[in-house]
């Protein structure tokens, strides 16, 4: 499996083309410009996109969706279509385990917190995890935007991601890649909770 990263828009959003032979999927195409570079890459590699996978519906991750749908006629796979900007298909439930979860070898992991519809895409055989804005190298996604919830974000990461095999490579929605092992050891947001409980003195 081959992974090509494109950095898009003013928020430096990461779009990924994941290919296996001549087939590929495009994850989080946040292109506000520069689609010619993507098209040139697909042509040079002889790749035919089969779907767009979205980790969540924030605008910086979906800007290029309409143009790609128009050009290739491919489906958009997403947890929810909150923005109404594209014809997203609901392809998994809350547990992420229906038939669509196996699409292209990915298990879909529902990770609410950054947004209610946040998901990660995990390929166990290839040891790769596309985390969107749930988990970054050395950080986590912000939760101060509408629909964000810090406690849900931490639970999503600690219960569903952090105990994946340490060699799992993380491909986040912004910034550089990392591994699960590195985030276990170095991510300051994932240290064991050590806040003292307030005593009830009444």
pLDDT at 57: 85
pLDDT of residue 46: 97
This prediction has a pTM of 0.84
Instruction: State the Cα angle at 101 between 97 and 80, rounded to 5°.
Output: 90
Say whether pLDDT at 14 is over 70: yes
pLDDT at 64 over 50: yes
Cα 97 to Cα 91: distance, rounded to the nearest angstrom: 9
Task: Give the tens place of pLDDT for each residue, 80-131.
Answer: 543 343 444 444 334 443 334 455 688 889 999 999 889 999 999 999 999 9
Contact indicator for 142, 114 with CB cutoff of 8 Å: yes
What is the C-alpha R_g of the chain? 17
* CA proximity to 187, closest of 142, 141, 154, 138: 138
pLDDT of residue 192: 65
Domain ranges, ordered by start, for the chain: 2-190
CATH 3.40.50.620 fits 2-190, yes or no: no
State residue 156 phi and psi, 5-degree precision. -60, -45
Instruction: Write down the mean pLDDT value for the chain.
Output: 84
């Amino acid at each position: 499996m081959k992974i090509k990263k494109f950095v898009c828009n003013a928020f430096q959003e990461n779009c990924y083309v994941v290919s296996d032979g001549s087939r590929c999927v495009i994850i989080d195409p946040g292109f506000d410009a520069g689609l010619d570079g993507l098209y040139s890459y697909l042509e040079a590699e002889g790749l035919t996109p089969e779907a767009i996978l979205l980790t969540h519906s924030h605008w910086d991750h979906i800007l290029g969706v309409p143009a790609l749908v128009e050009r290739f006629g491919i489906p958009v796979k997403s947890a929810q279509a909150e923005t109404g900007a594209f014809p997203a298909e609901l392809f998994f439930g809350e547990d992420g385990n229906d038939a669509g979860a196996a699409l292209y070898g990915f298990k879909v992991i529902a990770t609410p917190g950054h947004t209610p519809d946040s998901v990660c895409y995990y390929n166990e055989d290839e040891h790769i995890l596309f985390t969107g804005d749930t988990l970054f190298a050395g950080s986590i996604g912000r939760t101060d935007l509408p629909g964000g919830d810090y406690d849900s974000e931490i639970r999503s990461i600690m219960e569903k991601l952090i105990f994946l095999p340490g060699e799992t490579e993380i491909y986040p929605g912004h910034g550089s890649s990392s591994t699960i092992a590195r985030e276990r050891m170095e991510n300051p947001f994932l240290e064991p909770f050590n806040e003292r409980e307030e005593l009830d003195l009444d």
